[in-house]
Amino acid sequence: MKRFYTTAALFLVITFGMTIGGAYAQSRATEINRKNSWIKIGLNTGLPIAQLADRSNFTLGAEVKGQLMSTPNWGLGLASGYTHYFPKDGHENFGSVPAAVFARYYPARQGFFIGVDLGYSFQTGSQFNGNGGMYARPQLGYHNRLWNLFGFYNGIFRKGVNGGHIQYVGIGTTFNILFD
C-alpha cells in the first residue's frame, strides 16, 4: 500500500511539473474559454478482479468530466460519476462515487492518449462494503474531436477492515460536449 501512495505521489509531481513547465513555456497564461474547455459524458463497463471477483459479476458506470486543455497536448480536469457492482448470489448490491482530478496526454489531435484519474471514491449501498478509499484509474485509449474510447484499470484502495480493495478492468467511452 505504501508503494501505491509513493507511486501516485511521484506521478502527480511529474504530471503537474510537466504541466506547469509547459504553462511557463507559453507566451501567455491559459484562460478557460469556449475553445479549450468542454464536458465529457460517458459510460463504462468492467470485469471485477482480485477480491471483488468473489462478490461481483460485472460493473456498469456513468461518468461526467470537465476538461481544460492547458496546452495543446495536456488535458486537466475534474471527474465524478457512479459505478454499480452487480452482485453474485448471496452478496449485496453496492456502488461507488469517485471525486477525482484527472490528467490526459494527447500526442496528436486525433489518435491515442494516455491518462489517469486520481482521487477518493465514496462507497454506497452495503454494510459489508465499508468506507471509501483512494481512487486511481489509469487509462489508454483513442480519441477524436467528439469521442474517446479507452481501456482502463480501476482501483479503490482501502484498509482490510473496510472490506479490502475494489479492483476491476474495463472499457469505456465518453462523448465531448464542445462549447465552440
Give the residue extent of every domain in the chain. 2-178
Calpha distance 160→87 (Å, rounded): 20
Q: For the purposes of burial, counting CB atoms within 10 Å of the CB of 72, is it exposed (0-12), middle (13-18) or buried (19 or more)?
A: exposed
pLDDT at 36: 83
pLDDT at 27: 46
Q: What dihedral do alpha carbons 157, 50, 173, 35 form, nearest 10°? A: 20
DSSP 8-class letter at 34: T
Calpha distance 115→118 (Å, rounded): 10
**Of the options 3.90.1150.10, 3.20.20.70, 2.40.160.20, 3.40.50.300, the CATH number for the domain spanning 2-178:** 2.40.160.20
pLDDT at 139: 98
pLDDT at 23: 47
Largest Cα–Cα distance of the chain, in whole Å? 60
pLDDT at 161: 64
5 beta partners: none
Calpha distance 152→5 (Å, rounded): 19
pLDDT by residue for the chain (180 residues), tens only, comes to 555 555 555 555 565 555 555 544 444 556 768 778 999 999 999 999 998 899 899 999 999 999 998 888 999 999 999 999 999 998 888 999 999 999 999 999 999 999 999 999 999 987 656 688 999 999 999 999 999 999 999 999 988 766 789 999 999 999 999 987
